[in-house]
Amino acid sequence: MMENFWNTVSKYPVFVAGTILGVFLNAVKPLAPLLKNPVTAIALVGVAVGGFAFLVFTLRAMLGLQQF
């Protein structure tokens, strides 16, 4: 009985990873044609880097991780 429980529980990480990968791929797929034009590709990379930096700085400020 306990063996069946751990077998069932071990399937959840695969489900979560598959769900996250599916959401990521469906979010990126409409952006793929924009990468063919160099101007829009540079803008798209800039937006991605800026969004990541915004997220990092916001989380550092919220968690009090600033080092001066």
HSE at residue 57, side-chain half, CA atoms within 13 A, is 6
HSE at residue 9, side-chain half, CA atoms within 13 A, is 6
pLDDT by residue (tens digit) across 27-66? 999 999 999 999 999 999 999 999 999 999 999 999 988 7
Distance separating alpha carbons of residues 60 and 37, to the nearest angstrom: 34
pTM of the predicted model, to two decimals? 0.62
Q: For residue 47, give every residue at least 6 positions away whose Cβ sits within 8 Å of its Cβ, in sequence order, or none.
A: none
